[in-house]
A and B are shown apart, each in its own frame.
Chain A
Amino acid sequence: MSEKIYAYLLRLYPSRFREEYKEEAIQLYRDLYRHQTGLLRRTRLWVGLLADLAVGLPQAYRNTYASAASSPVVQGLQGIPTFRLLEEQPVRPGSFLFGSVLSLATLGTLSALLSHPTVYRAWNVSGVSRSPIEAVLERLNRPTSSELSGNESRQVDDSVPSDGRKAEARKATAPAAEQVLTPAQNTINPAERHKVIESVVKNPKANYPYQQQSRKAPKAVLRNETHGEYDAAVDGAVLAAHRTPDLQRVTQPAAIEIQRATIIAFCPPTTKAGVTDADASEALSDFQFYAERIKQPLNKAGIGFQILYARSFRIRLGSETIVFRPKTDIGYYLIAPGKKPLIEYGVMTDSDLLLVAKRYFGPVGLHD
C-alpha cells in the first residue's frame, strides 16, 4: 500500500525523470522500507521521503528544463525568443482533466461569490487618486438620496469631470437611483430598522456640523422610535423620509449667523413621495454631489458653505434677521456682511457655482 502511495507521489516528477528513474526510485523505496522496521522508524522514513520530495522535485524539473534550454537548437538562437516544444513531454490526458476540473471549480466559486452581494465599502482614498473605473463604481454605489439627506459625511467622488457635463453624470447615476429606490428591493424588517436608527444615534457628530445641535439628535430619534413613529416604515427609503425631517427639526440651528462670506445650498426636505420619484431623487443626488465637491475650494478661499434641507430658513446678519423662503426647490443663497444677498436657482454643477461665487464675492482665491 505504502509503495503504491510512493509510486503515486512519483507521478509529480517530470515524465523524463520518471521514464528514466521511476523503477529505481521504487526499488530504493523498497530497500529503505525493508530496513526500517517499527512504526516510529517508518514514520520517520515517510517524513524523510516527503522532505525529499520538496527538495528533489524542483531539482528534477530544473534538470529537465535546463537541459531543454541548452539543446543545440536553442543555443543557436541565444538572445532570440524561442518556444519550447513539448514533444518529449506530451501533456497527459489526466492533466487535461485536472485542468478542466480546476477551471470549473474556480468559475463556480467566482460565480457563487458574485451572486452574493456584499456591503459596499468605500475605498480608502486618502492621498491616493482613484482610477476612472473606481470613480464610476463609487458613483453607482452611492447611497440613495434619502439616505444621504440624513448623512452628510459620505465620500465624494472627485474624479468625475466638473465641467458641466451633467447629462453624462445623470446617465451614469440614473440606473443606480432607479434600482435602489424600488421599495420592494429596499424592504427592511424591525431589527434592520433598529440597526439603522442605532447607527444614526451612535454617530451624530459625523452627520451634523453643529455639536450642540447634534447632541439633541439621538434623543429625538430614540424618542420617536420608542413612540413607534417609525413602525410604519417598512422600507429604507420611507424610513429615511421619516427620519430626515425629524433630525432636521432638532438639529437645524434657529438662525444662521453670518459673519463672513457664506453660501447656503438649500433643498427641501425629502418626502416619501420624493424618494420614490426617480427624477426628484436624481436631482437631489446631483445637488448633494456637487455641493460636496465645492466645499473644499470654498473653504480654501475662506468662504463658508452650508447645506440646508428646509422649505425656509432664517439668517442673522448683525442685528437683522432675514427669513428666506425659496421660490423653487434647489438653489444657492450667497451672502456676505455688507452685501445684498444673491439667490441663484438653476445652478447645475460645482463649476457653475464657482463662477457665480466669483462674480458675487470677487476673485478671493477661487480657482476652477
Chain B
Amino acid sequence: MIDDPMPKRKLDPLPAAAFQILLALAGGDLHGYAIMRQVEEQSAGRMRLGPGTLYSSIQALAEEGLIEEVDPSGKPESLNERRRYYRLASTGRKLARAEAEKLADLLRVARAKNILRGEYV
C-alpha cells in the first residue's frame, strides 16, 4: 500500500500563497511577520501577503499537518511580544518538494518549447 503524504482537501491544488509559506519556512522557524517579509523577498516583491491571507493559509497548512507551531522560548522578539513561531513539518517539506518538481517539469517543457530561455533555470 502506498502511503500518500499529499493532502487532498483544502490544499489540493496547493495555492501559491501556501507554497510560498512552505518555502519561507524551509529556511527555518519563523513567526507571521517574518514569514510575510520572507515571502516578499523570495518572490522579489511580486507576492505580498496580508494578515488575512497569511493566517488563513497558515491555518490550512497547520490543520493539514504541513506546518506546526513551535515553542517560542529562546526565540528572539518573543520576550516582549507574544509571537507564535511555525516550523515546516516533514509532510510539508515533501509536499513543497513535490510542488517544486511539478513546476520544474513545467519549466523543462517550457524550455523545450522555446517558451523560456535557459537563463531562468
B84 CB within 8 Å of chain A: yes
A222 CB within 8 Å of chain B: no
Are A66 and B82 neighbours in the complex by a CB distance under 8 Å? Answer: no
Are A28 and B54 neighbours in the complex by a CB distance under 8 Å? Answer: yes
Choose the segment among A48-56, A205-213, A302-310, A344-352 that binds chain B (4+ C-beta atoms closer than 8 Å).
Answer: A48-56
Choose the segment among B56-64, B87-95, B113-121 that binds chain A (4+ C-beta atoms closer than 8 Å).
Answer: B56-64
Question: 1/0 per position for B50-76, CB-CB distance to A under 8 A?
Answer: 111111111110010000000000000
Most central of B10, B52, B59, B83 by chain A CB within 10 Å? B52
Give A contacts to B, CB under 8 Å: 13, 17, 20-21, 23-25, 27-29, 31-32, 48-49, 51-53, 55-57, 59-60, 62-63, 66-67, 70
Dominant secondary structure at the B interface: helix
Q: What are 17 inter-chain pairs, A to B, with CB distance below 8 A?
A: A17-B59, A21-B59, A24-B83, A25-B55, A28-B32, A28-B33, A28-B51, A49-B52, A51-B50, A52-B52, A56-B50, A56-B54, A57-B52, A59-B15, A60-B55, A60-B59, A66-B10
Q: Residues of A contacting B81 with CB < 8 Å?
A: 27
Q: How far is the CA of A56 from the CA of B48 in the complex (A)?
A: 13
Are B56 and A56 neighbours in the complex by a CB distance under 8 Å? Answer: yes
Q: How far is the CA of A66 from the CA of B10 in the complex (A)?
A: 7
Q: How far is the CA of A53 from the CA of B56 in the complex (A)?
A: 11
Shortest CB distance B76–A (Å): 14
Q: How far is the CA of A25 from the CA of B59 in the complex (A)?
A: 12
Are B53 and A52 neighbours in the complex by a CB distance under 8 Å? Answer: yes
Q: Residues of B contacting A53 with CB < 8 Å?
A: 50, 52
Q: Residues of B contacting A29 with CB < 8 Å?
A: 51
